[in-house]
């Protein structure tokens, strides 16, 4: 045996010296030896395939024949010299391994030449893998964390793959070996900043490549697809798409979507890829497949698309099957209003939703209602007038109108209050547009996302329930009226709209703002049905804004409308998807072996022509039962004799189940809009030269005096209202403990607070606490145990009223200096008196540095500082903090935030309680209520206590007492000491020690004795005198 092993090693070495690949040669030799021993039949061409060996150091390789699985034969072709390792075919070609030449792909297939593309996601393609972990190392046992993420993964959704929706860290991994440098490209949708999405590359030693320095993927706009590409080096590349969700409550993370992953740089492709269902390739040598047009379909590898019988069936663009047209219902048409005619009338018109997919000739089908009913037109919107024409036109500059009367010039001493007020919806205003967008396809392109409806505008039909129905309003800029130019407050304008949502499913209405066409951020969102209500958004910077309302009836991961019939060749996909889809989508048709079964009553009748499978030729099952039945049969392998690969029931879904769910907007009002119109005039300041002169801007902090229409400065310690500058009442007094800025734009605290009680004055000086104080509360944990902290910055007082507290997202990625310099364009930059960020520590999710997110302003207006516990409807409950052990009263700083949210209709409020604590010097300690570790119990009012010796009042004469010393050698000392415990700082200093002269005790004893002796002698003399006198 040992001699045989040595002989085999010598033969292998000899083969390597002749240029044969040692391992492959030995493999072939062993096969030949085995065939000779077993007398196997000779190999035919269908029994084997060709592969290349690994490249050697000279860049060459061999082509060898490899038997197919489960095939045993003899006489494989000998190895031959292969193409060089860097060889690749052009796009549209593949390497035919038998002759080692490039050949064009046949019709119905395509090739990228040196690339591979993944555009079908019915199942996870070969080579891809999922790894789910829970990266937090601080909570619970490792086993519990691992188990909590067992069900987290990237999920194939047909046209794309979707990330996890929880707060696990899940990586989608693909390893590729490149013979030459190349690239990776993919499209993605990433709209939720509560999930971290990174793409990076590692080599085979698990070290990140240099090209992944910028691995954080940028957010995309709602409904838009972005693209990302990275250069790849030759050799092994392991690609990672990694997501980590941060769930800070019950709100579900919106997942990341990825599609069309393309990798360039593979040496060759030995076969072409079949066009996926719904696409075709009609020419040899194609580098891609075309999408089948509407009302046609194709199966996998199609050379052309097959037309549907349009009178009975329909198909959307890119469909893999024709779908039977259902009977028309009231969900298949909508009404619109025509523009007003010269008689001031509008007509109500009914139109089919395009493309029309229903039939009117079926039983119980509805027909289109008659159109043409005439009604009175609504009036023009304020600032517009029809001028006896059929259309409304904006009033000329310097004029105004309420929409019912013709435009008039503003009287002397007034100017137009420019803006937009849309409350009548007969036609879409000129600065608004509407569109429809679908995540997975383009079937609703060209449709109106919103339709005007007289006194409101409402969401349209769309192509399917998960379309984004979009309404845009463009405002080129904001400019306050001339006389308000001097009001330098934080508000330049505002947008207010009244809306409601009527939903039977999980609909969502998004309100978004795009600044200078750079990036779109979600300002607020509302889920499910909402009663008629108003929402206001404050504009604080002069820029070009595009406001967007996007309504989505359902937010399903699967784009069921892409192919209304889902071809379930993969049974695992069936079992995974249908439990999600069935509760929210209406099953519509069943296709069994090419035969449509379409009764409209449930339970359905499913015909199965397999007596061996079922004794009865018909079985009645409801939709969930039918799905469960089919899934069970396949998964337990009981269908093998009935269902063959390439056939499986097609379950079809109606894509407009919730078409009656809608959003309505009744009015939209924008103030101080550039190029706006006026519905009224407002008083303005006039020049002093002559009466009736044009309006002039008032200087900062000046109001318009009613009697003279001249500008006059606001009194001291008042600030000018940004909503009104007419009359003395426009100057609003500052709150207690505050003073106005020089330009009367706001009130602030100069860190000095006085308090008088029982004829005792307490004066506080918080100047040493004017620098930004910080507090990290927590840790807190999400439902899965992710650790996070609440981080607060507090700018208490001073700084001439400047908001010095800064919070940003991803603060670890930029320096504070750079961040402030770019703050105008930094969308997640927050400057306030009090701001908050959520911090994910570096050890929590495996990131290199801590991450900050969800930065919010908690206070942008100072209300006052007082010892009282109530100010402007903001109160401090007695049990928020434990009582102070000293008798020194706490000083409360009250702040307000103008940002309105759905949960805080009046905005947020913040109270910072300053408490004297001599045991905590310098900056002292900030803390939050023990019952509310996030600083708030209701999410709207935040409480902080700041304990420090610097929060003690200034010292006065009542805070010390004197102690007199004994008289020594004619001198006496007087000392001054602080009252204990000391509860004051600075203020009146402790007086110096005082020394005074005094007499000793012996001297006074002598004087006393002398006086006593003299008194005694005198008394004796007087006694003798009166005794003698009485004797006589």
Q: What is the pLDDT of residue 815?
A: 33
Pairwise CA distance, residues 578 & 554, whole Å: 16
Q: What is the pLDDT of residue 445?
A: 64
Cβ partners under 8 Å of residue 1032, min gap 6: none
Pairwise CA distance, residues 430 & 435, whole Å: 14
Q: Tell me the sheet residues that pair with 273.
A: 110
Q: What is the pLDDT of residue 105?
A: 92
Instruction: Give the best-scoring range by mean pLDDT among 469-483, 566-580, 950-964.
Output: 950-964
Q: What is the pLDDT of residue 563?
A: 33
Q: Report whether 376 contacts 340 (CB < 8 A).
A: no
Q: What is the pLDDT of residue 930?
A: 85
Query: What average pLDDT does the segment 829-851 reach?
Result: 72
Cβ partners under 8 Å of residue 172, min gap 6: 128, 129, 130, 154, 161, 163, 240, 241, 242, 258
- The 10s digit of each residue's pLDDT in 374-426 is 887 778 899 998 876 667 889 988 889 988 888 888 887 788 888 999 998 88
Dihedral (CA of 300, 304, 305, 306) sign = negative
Instruction: DSSP for 543-594, please give it.
Output: S-EEEEEEEES---SS-TTTSSEEE--SHHHHHHHHHHHTTTSEEEEEEETT
Instruction: Give the best-scoring range by mean pLDDT among 361-370, 828-837, 991-1000.
Output: 361-370
Q: What angle do CA 327, 330, 332 make, to 5 degrees?
A: 65
Pairwise CA distance, residues 840 & 887, whole Å: 40
Q: Report whether 702 contacts 720 (CB < 8 A).
A: yes
Q: What is the pLDDT of residue 641?
A: 34
SS3 716: coil
Q: What is the pLDDT of residue 40?
A: 83
Pairwise CA distance, residues 883 & 966, whole Å: 43
Query: Do you find a cis peptide bond into 1013, omega within 30 degrees of 0?
Result: no
pLDDT at 15 over 80: no
Element (H, E) at 25: helix 22-38
Instruction: Give the best-scoring range by mean pLDDT among 53-67, 95-109, 263-277.
Output: 95-109
Query: What average pLDDT does the segment 260-273 reach?
Result: 84
Per-chain mean pLDDT for the chain = 76
Tell me whether strands 925-927 and 393-394 are parallel, antiparallel or unpaired. Answer: unpaired
Q: Which residue has the higher pLDDT, 484 or 316?
A: 316
pLDDT at 894 over 90: yes
Tell me whether strands 909-916 and 941-948 are parallel, antiparallel or unpaired. Answer: parallel
- The 10s digit of each residue's pLDDT in 86-110 is 788 888 888 888 888 889 999 999 9
Query: What average pLDDT does the segment 156-174 reach?
Result: 86
Local confidence band at 999 (pLDDT 50, 70, 90 cut-offs)? low
Tokens of 874: 């903001």
Tokens of 87: 């060889």
Local confidence band at 784 (pLDDT 50, 70, 90 cut-offs)? low
Q: What is the pLDDT of residue 843?
A: 59
Burial of 237 (C-beta count, 10 Å sphere; 0-12/13-18/19+): buried
Local confidence band at 796 (pLDDT 50, 70, 90 cut-offs)? very high
Burial of 1004 (C-beta count, 10 Å sphere; 0-12/13-18/19+): exposed
Query: CA gyration radius for the chain?
Result: 42
Residues of the chain above pLDDT 70, percent = 75
Least confident window among 136-150, 259-273, 721-735: 136-150
- The 10s digit of each residue's pLDDT in 593-606 is 333 333 333 333 33
Helix/strand/coil percentages in the chain, nearest 5: 15, 40, 50
pLDDT at 820 over 60: no
Q: What is the pLDDT of residue 8?
A: 38
pLDDT at 959 over 80: yes
Q: What is the pLDDT of residue 586?
A: 33
Local confidence band at 465 (pLDDT 50, 70, 90 cut-offs)? confident
Q: What is the pLDDT of residue 910?
A: 94
Query: What average pLDDT does the segment 799-825 reach?
Result: 58
- The 10s digit of each residue's pLDDT in 662-717 is 999 999 999 988 889 998 888 777 664 444 456 777 787 888 887 777 888 888 88
Least confident window among 757-771, 810-824, 837-851, 880-894: 810-824
Query: What average pLDDT does the segment 890-896 reach?
Result: 93
Q: What is the pLDDT of residue 1026?
A: 82
Query: Do you find a cis peptide bond into 400, omega within 30 degrees of 0?
Result: no
Q: Report whether 434 contacts 187 (CB < 8 A).
A: no
Query: What average pLDDT does the segment 223-238 reach?
Result: 84
Q: Which residue has the higher pLDDT, 186 or 444?
A: 186
Query: What average pLDDT does the segment 271-296 reach?
Result: 90
Q: Which residue has the higher pLDDT, 997 or 381?
A: 381
Pairwise CA distance, residues 568 & 380, whole Å: 54
pLDDT at 279 over 60: yes
Instruction: DSSP for 963-1005, please give it.
Output: EE---BTTEEEEEEEE-SS---EEESPPPPPEEEE---HHHHH
Local confidence band at 825 (pLDDT 50, 70, 90 cut-offs)? very low
Phi-psi region of 398 (alpha: psi -120 to 50; beta: other; left: phi over 0): left
Element (H, E) at 348: strand 345-352
- The 10s digit of each residue's pLDDT in 67-85 is 988 888 888 888 888 888 7
Query: What average pLDDT does the segment 359-384 reach?
Result: 87
Q: What is the pLDDT of residue 914?
A: 93
Kindly report whether the global pTM for this prediction surpasses the value 0.95: no
Quickly tell me which residue has 């902090």 as its tokens: 701
Q: Which residues of 558-567 are buried (b: 16+ CB within 10 A; e: fewer)?
A: bbbbbbbbbb
């Amino acid at each position: 045996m040992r001699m045989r092993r040595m002989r085999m090693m010598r033969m292998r070495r000899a083969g390597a010296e002749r240029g044969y690949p040692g391992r492959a040669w030995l493999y072939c030799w062993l096969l030949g030896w085995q065939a000779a021993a077993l007398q196997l039949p000779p190999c035919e061409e269908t029994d084997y395939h060709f592969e290349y060996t690994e490249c050697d150091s000279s860049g060459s390789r061999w082509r060898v024949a490899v038997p197919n699985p489960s095939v045993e034969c003899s006489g494989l072709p000998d190895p031959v010299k292969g193409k060089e390792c860097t060889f690749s075919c052009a796009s549209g070609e593949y390497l035919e391994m038998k002759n080692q030449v490039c050949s064009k792909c046949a019709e119905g297939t395509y090739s990228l030449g040196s690339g591979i593309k993944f555009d079908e996601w019915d199942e996870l393609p070969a080579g891809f893998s999922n790894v789910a972990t829970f990266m937090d190392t601080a909570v619970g046992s490792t086993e519990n964390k691992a188990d909590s993420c067992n069900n987290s993964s990237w999920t194939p959704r047909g046209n794309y793959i979707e990330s996890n929706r929880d707060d696990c860290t899940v990586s989608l991994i693909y390893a590729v070996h490149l013979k030459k440098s190349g690239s990776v490209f993919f499209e993605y949708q990433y709209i939720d900043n509560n999930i971290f999405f990174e793409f990076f590359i590692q080599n085979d030693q698990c070290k990140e490549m240099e090209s992944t320095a910028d691995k954080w993927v940028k957010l995309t706009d709602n409904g838009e697809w972005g693209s990302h590409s990275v250069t790849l080096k030759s050799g092994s590349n392991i690609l990672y798409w990694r997501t980590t969700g941060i769930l800070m409550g019950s709100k579900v993370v919106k997942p990341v979507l990825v599609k069309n992953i393309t990798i360039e740089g593979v040496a060759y492709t030995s076969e072409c890829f079949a066009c996926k269902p719904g696409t075709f390739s009609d020419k040899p040598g194609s580098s891609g497949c075309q999408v089948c047009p509407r009302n046609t379909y194709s199966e996998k590898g199609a050379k052309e698309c097959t037309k549907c019988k349009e009178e009975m069936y329909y198909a959307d663009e890119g469909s893999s099957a024709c779908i039977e047209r259902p009977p028309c219902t009231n969900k298949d048409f909508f009404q619109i209003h025509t523009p007003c005619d010269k008689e001031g009338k509008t007509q109500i018109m009914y139109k089919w939703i395009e493309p029309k997919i229903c039939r009117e000739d079926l039983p119980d089908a509805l027909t289109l209602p008659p159109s043409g009913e005439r009604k009175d037109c609504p009036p023009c919107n304020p600032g517009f007038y029809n001028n006896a024409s059929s259309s409304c036109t904006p009033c000329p500059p310097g004029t105004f109108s309420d929409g019912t009367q013709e435009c008039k010039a503003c009287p002397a001493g007034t100017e137009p209050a420019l803006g937009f007020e849309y409350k009548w919806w007969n036609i879409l205003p000129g600065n608004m547009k509407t569109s429809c967008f679908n995540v997975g396809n383009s079937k609703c392109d060209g449709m109106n996302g919103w339709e005007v409806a007289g006194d409101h505008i409402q969401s349209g039909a769309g192509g399917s329930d998960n379309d984004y129905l979009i309404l845009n309003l463009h405002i080129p800029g904001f400019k306050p009226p001339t006389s308000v130019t001097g009001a330098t407050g934080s508000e330049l304008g505002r947008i207010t709209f009244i809306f409601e949502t009527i939903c039977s499913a999980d609909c969502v209405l998004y309100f978004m703002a795009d600044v200078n066409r750079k990036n779109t951020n979600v300002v607020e969102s509302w889920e499910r049905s909402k009663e008629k209500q108003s929402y206001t958004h404050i504009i604080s910077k002069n820029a070009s804004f595009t406001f967007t309302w996007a309504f989505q009836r359902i937010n399903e991961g699967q784009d069921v409308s892409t192919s209304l019939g889902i071809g379930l060749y993969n049974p695992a996909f069936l079992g995974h998807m249908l439990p999600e889809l069935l509760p929210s989508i209406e099953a519509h048709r069943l296709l069994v072996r090419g035969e449509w079964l379409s009764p409209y009553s449930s339970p359905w009748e499913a015909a199965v022509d397999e007596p061996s499978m079922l004794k009865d030729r018909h079985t009645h099952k409801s939709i969930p039962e039918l799905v469960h039945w089919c899934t069970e049969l396949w998964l337990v392998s009981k269908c093998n004799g009935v269902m063959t690969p390439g056939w499986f029931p097609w379950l079809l879904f109606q894509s407009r189940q919730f078409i009656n769910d809608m959003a309505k907007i009744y009015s939209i009002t924008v103030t101080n809009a550039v190029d706006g119109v006026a519905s009224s005039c407002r008083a303005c300041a006039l020049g002093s030269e002559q009466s009736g002169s044009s309006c002039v801007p008032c200087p900062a902090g000046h109001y318009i005096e009613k009697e003279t229409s001249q500008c006059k400065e606001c009194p001291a310690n008042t600030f000018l209202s940004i909503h009104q500058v007419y009359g003395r009442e426009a100057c609003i007094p500052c709150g207690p403990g505050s003073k106005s800025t020089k330009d009367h734009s706001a009130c602030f605290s100069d860190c000095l607070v006085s308090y008088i009680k029982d004829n005792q004055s307490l004066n506080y000086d918080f100047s040493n606490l004017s620098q930004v104080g910080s507090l990290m509360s927590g840790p807190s944990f999400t439902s899965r145990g992710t650790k996070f902290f609440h981080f607060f910055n507090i700018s208490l007082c001073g700084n001439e009223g400047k908001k010095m507290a800064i919070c940003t997202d991803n603060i670890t990625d930029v320096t504070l200096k750079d961040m402030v310099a770019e703050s105008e364009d930094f969308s997640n930059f927050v400057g306030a008196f009090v701001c908050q960020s959520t911090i994910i520590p570096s050890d929590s999710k495996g990131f290199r540095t801590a991450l900050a997110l969800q930065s919010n302003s908690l206070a942008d207006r100072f209300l006052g500082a007082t010892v009282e516990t109530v100010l402007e409807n903001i109160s401090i409950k007695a049990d928020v903090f434990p009582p102070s052990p000293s008798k020194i009263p706490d000083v409360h700083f009250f702040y307000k935030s103008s940002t309105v949210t759905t949960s805080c209709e009046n905005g947020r409020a913040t109270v910072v309680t300053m408490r004297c604590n001599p045991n905590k010097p310098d900056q002292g300690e900030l803390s939050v209520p023990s019952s509310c570790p996030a600083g708030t119990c209701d999410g709207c009012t935040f409480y902080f206590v700041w304990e420090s010796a610097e929060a003690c009042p200034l010292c006065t004469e009542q805070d010390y007492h004197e102690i007199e010393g004994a008289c020594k050698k004619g001198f006496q000392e007087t000392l001054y000491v602080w009252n204990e415990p000391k509860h004051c700082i600075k203020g009146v200093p402790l007086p110096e020690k005082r020394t005074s002269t005094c007499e000793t005790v012996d001297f006074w004893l002598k004087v006393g004795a002398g006086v006593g002796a003299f008194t005694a002698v005198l008394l004796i003399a007087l006694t003798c005198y009166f005794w003698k006198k009485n004797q006589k």
